[in-house]
């Protein structure tokens, strides 16, 4: 089967027909090859004739760049939308500040080759066969593949290395997708040592960088710091996205806040090692460069070969951090997710992991399925432990046959049972991994990432299969295809429980082996694409020991993600806040698990846990065998209530009314449906102190003229709260809640009359 991976165009083809505000101040169709080749000999007048300027408009954003007097592509503007008739000035290279800071370095290069005295982060660095490492890219030509897209061709001033920069503007959100294709037309191979998707520049100002950091069970910490001279590096060297940094950033200007002020933001669509650098130059300009992580990178391009970078998306808003995340959420739902532009709401799921861990059996799972069905669950998912000789995490990964001791008649009886209870069935897999204690490893020890003759470092007693190898790719696709063909499976939880070590690929000659950094992830994407094409009804979750593989690359192929193995509800409040900076609630799975929580030993009520998870895509991950009748009844009632606001919560506009970051004892979120007919809001108090009231909540995003009726999902509003009032009332006057105590929550919906 010939399955095309999603590469270019950068938006889904169906959406490219949307009429756009993509305008080009000048769009040269003709190739000005001579410009790139003979810049040094040209007169100033001749050069001016070859200095096109490009302008892209979408949403409330304008992005402009052009060719400076030296022939370099230079960013001119990135910010709020300019007047349609405003002339974009031809760019002029920046001055030389001193002999230590030359003009090439100080100029806001759109895609800088490493050469000519560049000390800022290069977009591209190569080594030629003769040892030359100087690369200076000049403008050659442009073309417009469709209404919303633009390609710019750059070429080195003397060598046959070309770079095609791809731009696609989403006319609605103004989110710009940028990527680059690097091509070697030299007679000999070149090694690409660094390749960014894009660089973005901002003029001097006081900026605050927002980024996400974390670790296993501690993902999604929002960090805020002033951008100062020097470089802040956000990265993963781990072979996959990582828990430690997430490939997203937001830069606020001055005192930009949650709902006001200018914010520039971006996200990199790559699930392998990645890097985003944010740096301020000697003239106080800021440059953000993102793409493949150059650490240990070395992609050999033989004559005629190309390297495509991932996509680095960017956007702008003057509605603060909330506005930035709402735009990104809409864009991800509308353009990135596999079911875009209209992804189905996430079903309410049950997952067996925390209940049974690997001790799964047919009767045990069936008993849990009965309890789950009684709560009104839509999808039952059996987690780790059903395959090979899997009793602990020491064995079995790689052997994807059903364990006959646990499931003597295969998966069919359990799946039939689950379906007879009115749920669909999902299954956990970890396709890229192998335990040394497995038939697969005994047969194919050469299939793992390794350097021959060197130790193979185990993590969770497992090794990473080298998915870049064609035989490994075929094996992984083959077993998954068989599993999905032979069983009525509606959902895969695709896990990935360690990072790389010893990343060798000894099938290839020494100078080719670092291709693994690209081909592994490409093969992952292509397997997912091929599986989806062949089994269109199957949905997939990206999990990596929690949130270790969440990015806009994997989200082109997976419907949802597991944000964290940490399901403690108090921790989840801050994690969900951090997660929502970049990713929509639509993909944010949120389970209710047991209390006291295994990680923090914190006891909380079922109600509190449910309400926290109802802010996301709700699931239950508790051992329902231990729940009493009252807990079951509460969960059942709240699942039914969730179904009434499910689409609004998952696909509405999210307002973080009170952020739980910075140790706030309160938090609140609100979601408003796209047509403003419904809002759902949730409020939480950690521990009331000194009898303080819950802050009055002024809602947002409603239709001021419409009348909305208030319904309590859980908890009480102040006695004088009207049963119905206009959007203007709820937004301007606001609502007082009767919310006090420790780990208390409340939730309400507002429905348009």
With CB under 6 A as the contact rule, the residue among 74, 289, 450, 497 that binds ligand GLA is 497
Residue with smaller CB distance to ligand GLA, 286 or 483? 483
Q: Rounded to the nearest whole angstrom, what is the least distance from the CB of residue 487 to ligand GLA in the complex?
A: 19
Q: Rounded to the nearest whole angstrom, what is the least distance from the CB of residue 564 to ligand GLA in the complex?
A: 8
Residue with smaller CB distance to ligand GLA, 296 or 357? 357
Q: Rounded to the nearest whole angstrom, what is the least distance from the CB of residue 353 to ligand GLA in the complex?
A: 5
Residue with smaller CB distance to ligand GLA, 383 or 530? 383
113 Cβ neighbours under 8 A, 6+ residues apart: 122, 123, 124, 125, 126, 135, 136, 137, 156
H or E element at residue 207: strand 207-213
With CB under 6 A as the contact rule, the residue among 248, 331, 428, 684 that binds ligand GLA is 428
With CB under 6 A as the contact rule, the residue among 495, 559, 653, 751 that binds ligand GLA is 495
- Copy the structure tokens of residue 407: 């499931």
Interhelix angle 362-375/629-651, rounded to 10 degrees, is 70
Residue with smaller CB distance to ligand GLA, 429 or 527? 429
Cα dist from 203 to 96, 219, 356, 412, 714, whole Å: 17, 32, 55, 61, 48
Residue with smaller CB distance to ligand GLA, 450 or 544? 544
Is residue 175 within 8 Å of 314, Cβ to Cβ? yes
Residue with smaller CB distance to ligand GLA, 75 or 567? 567
274 binds ligand GLA (CB under 6 A): no
Question: In angstroms, rounded to a whole number, what is the distance separating the alpha carbons of residues 312 and 10?
Answer: 10
545 binds ligand GLA (CB under 6 A): yes
Q: Any bridge partners for residue 125, and if so which?
A: 194
135-143, 155-163, 193-201, 542-550 -> range binding ligand GLA (CB under 6 A): 542-550
Q: Rounded to the nearest whole angstrom, what is the least distance from the CB of residue 230 to ligand GLA in the complex?
A: 36
22-30, 185-193, 539-547, 646-654 -> range binding ligand GLA (CB under 6 A): 539-547
Q: Rounded to the nearest whole angstrom, what is the least distance from the CB of residue 438 to ligand GLA in the complex?
A: 15
Residue with smaller CB distance to ligand GLA, 239 or 545? 545
Name the residue with the smallest CB distance to ligand GLA: 384
Cα dist from 137 to 158, 311, 383, whole Å: 9, 20, 51
491 binds ligand GLA (CB under 6 A): no
Count of other CB atoms within 10 angstroms of residue 34: 13
Residue with smaller CB distance to ligand GLA, 138 or 549? 549
Residue 569 Rama label (left phi>0; alpha psi -120 to 50; beta): alpha
Query: Which residues in 136-165 contact ligand GLA (CB under 6 A)?
Result: none
Question: Half-sphere exposure (CA, 13 Å, Cβ side) for 652?
Answer: 27
Whether the CA torsion 574, 578, 581, 586 is positive or negative: it is negative
Q: Rounded to the nearest whole angstrom, what is the least distance from the CB of residue 651 to ligand GLA in the complex?
A: 25
The gap from C-alpha 233 to its chain's centroid, in whole angstroms, comes to 18
With CB under 6 A as the contact rule, the residue among 193, 308, 565, 670 that binds ligand GLA is 565
Q: Rounded to the nearest whole angstrom, what is the least distance from the CB of residue 385 to ligand GLA in the complex?
A: 8
383 binds ligand GLA (CB under 6 A): yes
547 binds ligand GLA (CB under 6 A): no
Question: In angstroms, rounded to a whole number, what is the distance separating the alpha carbons of residues 70 and 84?
Answer: 28
Question: In angstroms, rounded to a whole number, what is the distance separating the alpha carbons of residues 161 and 461?
Answer: 44
Query: Which residue is listed with tokens 């870049």?
Result: 468
The gap from C-alpha 375 to its chain's centroid, in whole angstroms, comes to 31
20 binds ligand GLA (CB under 6 A): no
**# binding residues, ligand GLA (CB under 6 A):** 11
Q: Rounded to the nearest whole angstrom, what is the least distance from the CB of residue 562 to ligand GLA in the complex?
A: 6
386 binds ligand GLA (CB under 6 A): no
Interhelix angle 470-486/516-534, rounded to 10 degrees, is 20
16-24, 149-157, 247-255, 541-549 -> range binding ligand GLA (CB under 6 A): 541-549
Q: Rounded to the nearest whole angstrom, what is the least distance from the CB of residue 462 to ligand GLA in the complex?
A: 10
The secondary structure of residue 66, as a DSSP letter, is E
Q: Rounded to the nearest whole angstrom, what is the least distance from the CB of residue 236 to ligand GLA in the complex?
A: 17
Query: Which residue is listed with tokens 């998306």?
Result: 313
Question: Half-sphere exposure (CA, 13 Å, Cβ side) for 503?
Answer: 24
388 binds ligand GLA (CB under 6 A): no
214 binds ligand GLA (CB under 6 A): no
Mask for 342-361, x = binds ligand GLA (CB under 6 A) = -----------x--------
- Copy the structure tokens of residue 278: 């944010």
Residue with smaller CB distance to ligand GLA, 258 or 495? 495
Is residue 431 within 8 Å of 474, Cβ to Cβ? no
Residue with smaller CB distance to ligand GLA, 115 or 619? 619
Helix-strand-coil split of the chain, %, nearest 5: 25, 30, 45
546 binds ligand GLA (CB under 6 A): yes
Residue 572 burial (CB < 10 Å; 0-12/13-18/19+)?
buried
Query: Which residues in 643-702 contact ligand GLA (CB under 6 A)?
Result: none
Q: Rounded to the nearest whole angstrom, what is the least distance from the CB of residue 543 to ligand GLA in the complex?
A: 5
For the annotated catalytic residues, the residue numbers are 495, 565
The secondary structure of residue 243, as a DSSP letter, is S
Residue with smaller CB distance to ligand GLA, 249 or 591? 591
With CB under 6 A as the contact rule, the residue among 156, 186, 378, 384 that binds ligand GLA is 384
The secondary structure of residue 96, as a DSSP letter, is P
Opening angle at CA 192, ends 186 and 198, nearest 5: 110
- Copy the structure tokens of residue 647: 């689409």
What 3-state DSSP class applies to 533?
helix
400 binds ligand GLA (CB under 6 A): no
Is residue 277 within 8 Å of 233, Cβ to Cβ? yes
Q: Which residues bind ligand GLA (CB under 6 A)?
A: 353, 383-384, 428, 495, 497, 543, 545-546, 562, 565
């Amino acid at each position: 089967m010939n399955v095309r991976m999603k590469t270019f165009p950068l938006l889904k083809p169906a959406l490219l027909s949307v009429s756009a505000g993509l305008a080009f101040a000048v769009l040269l169709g003709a190739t000005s090859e001579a410009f790139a080749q003979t810049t040094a000999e040209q007169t100033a007048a001749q050069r001016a004739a070859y200095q096109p300027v490009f302008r892209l408009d979408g949403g409330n954003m304008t992005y402009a760049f052009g060719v400076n007097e030296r022939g370099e592509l230079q960013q001119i503007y990135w910010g709020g939308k300019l007047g349609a008739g405003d002339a974009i000035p031809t760019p002029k290279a920046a001055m030389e500040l001193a002999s230590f800071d030359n003009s090439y370095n100080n100029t806001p290069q759109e895609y800088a080759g490493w050469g000519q005295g560049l000390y800022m982060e290069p977009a591209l660095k190569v080594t030629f066969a003769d040892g030359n490492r100087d690369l200076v890219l000049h403008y050659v030509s442009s073309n417009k593949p469709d209404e919303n897209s633009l390609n710019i061709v750059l070429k080195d001033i003397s060598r046959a290395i070309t770079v095609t920069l791809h731009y696609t503007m989403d006319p609605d959100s103004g989110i710009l997708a940028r990527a680059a294709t690097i091509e070697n037309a030299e007679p000999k191979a070149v090694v690409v040592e660094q390749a960014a998707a894009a660089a973005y520049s901002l003029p001097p100002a006081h900026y605050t960088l927002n980024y996400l950091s974390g670790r296993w069970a501690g993902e999604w910490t929002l960090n805020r710091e002033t951008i100062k001279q020097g470089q802040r590096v956000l990265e993963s060297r781990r072979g996959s996205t990582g828990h430690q940094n997430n490939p997203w950033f937001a830069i606020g200007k001055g005192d930009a806040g949650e709902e006001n002020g200018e914010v520039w933001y971006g996200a990199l669509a790559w699930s392998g090692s990645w890097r985003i650098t944010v740096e301020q130059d000697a003239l106080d300009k800021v440059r953000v460069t993102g793409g493949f992580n150059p650490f240990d990178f070395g992609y050999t391009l033989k004559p005629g070969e190309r390297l495509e970078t991932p996509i680095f998306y960017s956007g702008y808003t003057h509605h603060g951090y909330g506005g930035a995340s709402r735009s990104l959420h809409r864009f991800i739902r509308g353009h990135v997710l596999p079911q875009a532009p209209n992804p189905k709401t996430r079903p309410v799921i049950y997952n067996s992991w925390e209940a049974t861990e690997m001790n799964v059996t047919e009767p045990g799972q069936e008993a849990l399925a009965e309890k789950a069905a009684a709560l009104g669950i839509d999808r039952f998912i059996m987690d780790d432990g059903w395959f090979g000789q899997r009793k602990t995490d020491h064995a079995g990964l790689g052997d994807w046959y059903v364990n006959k001791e646990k499931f003597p008649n295969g998966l069919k009886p359990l799946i039939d049972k689950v379906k007879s209870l009115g749920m669909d069935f999902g299954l956990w897999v970890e396709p890229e991994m192998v335990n040394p204690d497995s038939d697969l490893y005994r047969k194919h020890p050469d299939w793992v990432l390794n350097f021959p003759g060197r130790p193979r470092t185990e993590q969770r007693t497992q090794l990473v299969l080298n998915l870049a190898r064609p035989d490994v790719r075929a094996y992984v696709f083959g077993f998954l295809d068989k599993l999905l063909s032979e069983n009525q499976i509606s959902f895969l939880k695709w896990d990935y429980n360690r990072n790389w070590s010893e990343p060798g690929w000894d099938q290839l000659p020494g100078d080719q082996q670092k291709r693994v950094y690209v081909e592994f992830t490409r093969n992952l994407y292509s397997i997912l694409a091929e599986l989806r094409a062949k089994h269109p009804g199957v949905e997939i979750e990206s999990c990596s020991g929690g949130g270790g593989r969440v990015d806009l690359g994997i989200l082109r192929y997976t419907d949802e993600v597991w944000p964290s193995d940490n399901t403690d509800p108090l921790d989840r409040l801050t994690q969900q806040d951090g997660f929502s900076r970049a990713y929509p609630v639509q993909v944010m799975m949120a389970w209710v698990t047991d209390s006291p929580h295994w990680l923090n030993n914190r006891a909380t009520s079922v109600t509190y846990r449910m309400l926290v998870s109802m802010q996301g895509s709700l699931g239950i991950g508790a051992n329902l065998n231990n729940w009493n009748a009252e807990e079951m009844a509460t969960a059942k009632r709240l699942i039914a209530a969730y179904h009434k606001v499910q689409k609004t919560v998952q696909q509405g506009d999210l307002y973080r009314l009170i952020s739980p970051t910075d140790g706030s004892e309160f938090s609140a979120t609100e979601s408003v449906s796209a047509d403003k007919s419904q809002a759902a809001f949730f409020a939480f108090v950690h521990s009331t102190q000194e009898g303080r009231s819950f802050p009055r909540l002024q809602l947002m995003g409603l239709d001021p003229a419409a009348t909305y009726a208030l319904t309590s999902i859980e908890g009480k509003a102040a006695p004088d709260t009207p049963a119905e009032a206009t959007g203007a009332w709820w937004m301007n006057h606001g609502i007082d809640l009767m919310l006090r105590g420790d780990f208390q929550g409340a939730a309400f919906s507002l429905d348009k009359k």
